[in-house]
Structure 1
Amino acid sequence: MTFTVIAEAGEVHWLRADVALAPAARRHAGNLARDLGMPQAQVARVELCVTEMATNMLKYAHDGSLVLRVVRARDRAAVECLSLDSGPGIRNVQEALRDGISASGSLGIGLGTIARMADVSGVHSLPGRGTVVHARFWADGENGAPAAGPLDTGGLTRPLGGEQACGDTWAVRTAEGPDALLLMMCDGLGHGPLAAQASDRARGAFRASSHTDPARVLEDIHQALRNSRGAAVAVALVEPAAQRVRVSGAGNITALAATSSGRTGLPSLPGIAGVQLPRPRTFEAALPPGAALIMHSDGLSDRWKPADFPGLLAHDSSVVAAQIFSQAAVRRDDAGIVVAVHRQP
């Protein structure tokens, strides 16, 4: 049986790079692991992993963050650790993953040992621009990660600087058809708690909707957001068997089907869900194996191109989301991104 890994938007801890990064990362990651019931030996591996991530970031990166969260696949849960930096990058990732290669002054375990400790891991680096390091630790003691399906999904949200609540959110649920998924990206108007309330209502309506047609789901969200400040929302139906994606949106949400060589835009109509929604329209694009659906709020610039990220789509969707987020996010603004990658059979 295959599984879709889903990282809930509300379970993200962002830790900025500073002198206290390593102890803060150990504490947060250890608490997440213990909350999931991991044995102490596995908790120690998670803590060692994030300590090495933090140490390397402080030594080599110009700026960066660690992202810690819980992800789930049906009845399984994991701690996921992401390191996002704007440092010089790694010229030869395969060399850096070899045993015995470690950042000078670090714990000496190196990226290769992080990869062996984690159930799922990955590194994507852009020389001169920055690196994303990813590690995921499943909590139930079974060997390795769940078997991957034809789609994997991942995303990130980050609140406005100084705010605790993020006005952006995302969600995923199953749909009719072999391995089909519905995805939603939502940007609540404004920032802070009121924007987050609108986004939370949108996420609840998305999950409660009995429809799988993106336009019908968008209308359900619109009704649920009445008497709120409203939101920009896009809903996508990804159908790997048909190798296509269909999107219906309102407001300033970027949605596109990306391949290594280009991108096809899937427009959202002017409007605000919950306030003024035009008659929804659905746009369609091909999504062959190796392609990805990417949706993000206006907290990220929409000027990026797949060619700017060589090799990225071959990575886990969490790495895809993190690298685009790291390179395209607008400083201090609420931002959110959701990615669904169609894997090669």
Structure 2
Amino acid sequence: MASLPEGLLDGGVWFRVEEPGTASAVRRAAERLAAELVMPEHRIADLSIVAAETAGNLTKHASQGTVLVRPVRAADQAGVELIAVDSGPGMADLRRSMGDGHSTAGTLGIGFGAILRQASWSDLHSVPGKGTVMTVQVWPGDVPERGWAAGVTRPLTGESVSGDAWAAREAGGRRQVLVSDGLGHGGLAAAASHEAVRVFHKTPAVPPAQVLEALHRALGHTRGAALAVAELDPEAGVVRYAGLGNISGTVLSADGGRRGMVSMPGIVGHQRRQIREYDYPLTPGAIVLMHTDGVVDRWNAGDYPGLLSHSPEVIAATVLRDAGTRRDDAGVLVAQALS
């Protein structure tokens, strides 16, 4: 078996999909990842169809298409996820566009139908003039319960790994998320963020400020990172937030409200003036959106009708597409206030 691209068993690998040959590379990478995850042969065959059609649609219909191939894991199984992102032309009538027989490129028009039949789960959002984001998952068995949080990261152009990372956990009745931006770029920045994720998952179920204290003590041997931890408590109607460094956090309510959350100056593992935890209102249907400084705050949810009702994966990838920069690692996490 050919070796996997660097990062494929971790945060995944992005492919620019502009020619049919690149679509083949996406399919092969998905197949290799599935084999590494010991998925059964018949599901690898289904995944091959999903990957080929997903990437093929980008080459035929889209502008500036990219695909992220990465693993997804549940308690008792692992699958493969593909997130396809493009910058146009977008679709005004999703139901018609996704039906068999509809084509804008003179083909048979069976791509979306094949994807939906073979995939275990999928989600798609499209805005005419802005583009489309679609995520599809192929699992070896039954589809796990949908997650309440997910993130997407992308390395600086020219780098094979990203120094940004995210994590989510449920521990001791607490739903907590982490966003990390390792200082600099490349392998050392990635190592700092990977260590942050590891320690985050091992830390006892304590409030965000105490989690951040534990991370600060643990990252002293690394390059250091900007970090933020948020805890969603829908029953209490609050999100608790603690951050050090340039991580941005925002609460987006279902009625269009937007409220920023405060991170303190510092570098986790090296420079810590103070760690403070703040509480913010969390209304039903709200989402918590966190991102690194590789994503700018020029994104407006009002420009994307219906987006906030979609999966965290689709929301995060949409923000990364339109607000992420290519001059830095970029990472976005979305957590939903589900009761």
Q: TM-score, normalised by structure 2?
A: 0.91
The secondary structure found in structure 2 opposite 1:225 is: helix
Name the SS for the 1:11 alignment partner.
coil
Deviation at 1:174? Answer: 1.5
Q: Residue in 2 aligned with 1:23?
A: 24
Provide the rounded CA distance (Å) in 1 between the counterparts of 2:47 and 2:108: 14
Call closer, same or farther: CA 1:10–1:106 in 2, change over 3 Å.
farther
CA deviations over 1:131-163 (Å, ceiling 9, x no partner): 111111112x33xx2234xx6111111111111
Corresponding position of 1:202: 196
Cα distance change on mapping 1:337 and 1:63 into 2, 3 Å: same
Q: For residue 12 of structure 2, give the secondary structure of its aligned residue in structure 1.
A: strand
- How many residues are matched? 330
Q: Does 1:317 align with 2:312?
A: yes
Alpha-carbon distance between aligned partners in 1 of 2:230 and 2:108, rounded to the nearest angstrom: 43
Preserved contact between residue 263 and residue 306 of structure 1 (Cα < 8 Å): no
Counterpart in the other structure of 1:73: 74
Output the CA distance in 1 between the equivalents of 2:41 and 2:48.
10
Indicate the SS of the match to 1:10: coil
Give the superposition deviation at 1:211: 4.2
With over 3 angstroms needed to count, the CA separation of the structure-2 counterparts of 1:103 and 1:21, relative to structure 1, is: farther
DSSP 3-state at the match of 1:226 = helix
Residue among 150, 153, 167 paired with 1:157: 153
The SS at the match of 1:172 is: strand
Identify the residue that residue 51 of structure 2 maps to in structure 1: 50
CA contact (8 A) 2:192 2:222 kept: yes
> Structure 1 CA distance, aligned partners of 2:285 and 2:118?
27
State yes or no: 1:235 paired with 2:229: yes
1:273 aligns with: 268
What does the per-residue CA deviation read over 1:72-101, in whole Å, with 9 as the maximum and x for residues that have no partner?
Answer: 121222211110011211111122122322
Aligned amino acid, residue 297 of structure 1: T
Aligned letter for 2:101? Answer: G
Q: Describe the superposition over 1:212-246 as per-residue Cα deviations: whole angstroms up to 9, x where unpaired.
A: 21001111111112243211100011123323211
CA distance in 1, matches of 2:108, 2:227: 44
**Residue 171 (structure 2) aligns with:** 175
Deviation at 1:339, TM superposition (A): 1.2
Query: Equivalent residues in 2 for 1:38-187 (5 A)?
Result: 38-105=39-106, 108-139=109-140, 141-142=141-142, 145-148=143-146, 152-177=148-173, 180-187=174-181
Tell me which residue corresponds to 2:242. 248
Deviation of the 1:264 alpha carbon: 1.2
Counterparts of 1:106 and 1:82, CA distance in 2: 23
8 Å contact from structure 2 (residues 290, 334) kept in 1: yes
- 3-state SS of 2:285 partner: coil
Aligned to 1:331: 326
Write the letter of the residue equivalent to 2:117: R
CA contact (8 A) 2:57 2:111 kept: no
Q: Answer whether contact 1:9 1:169 (CA < 8 A) is retained.
A: no
Return 291-300 or 234-243, whichever deviates more.
234-243
Task: Give 1:170 deviation, angstroms.
Answer: 1.1
Q: 1:5 corresponds to which residue? A: none
Unaligned segments of structure 2, at least 5 residues: 1-7
Cα distance change, pair 50–217 in 1 and its aligned pair in 2 (3 A): same
Q: Which consecutive unaligned segments of at least 5 residues does structure 1 have?
A: 1-7
Change (3 A) 1:262 1:106: farther
AA at the equivalent of 2:110:
I
Quickly say closer, same or farther: Cα 1:40–1:105, change in 2 above 3 A. Answer: farther
SS in 2 for 1:304: coil
SS at match of 2:161: coil
Do the aligned partners of 1:9 and 1:171 also contact (CA within 8 Å) in 2?
no
Pick aligned residue for 1:192 from 166, 172, 186: 186
> Match of 2:272, SS?
coil
Identity %: 44
In structure 1, distance between residues paired with 2:197 and 2:45? 34
The whole-number CA distance in structure 1 between the counterparts of 2:205 and 2:70 is 29
Contact map agreement 2:151 2:316 (CA 8 A) in 1: yes
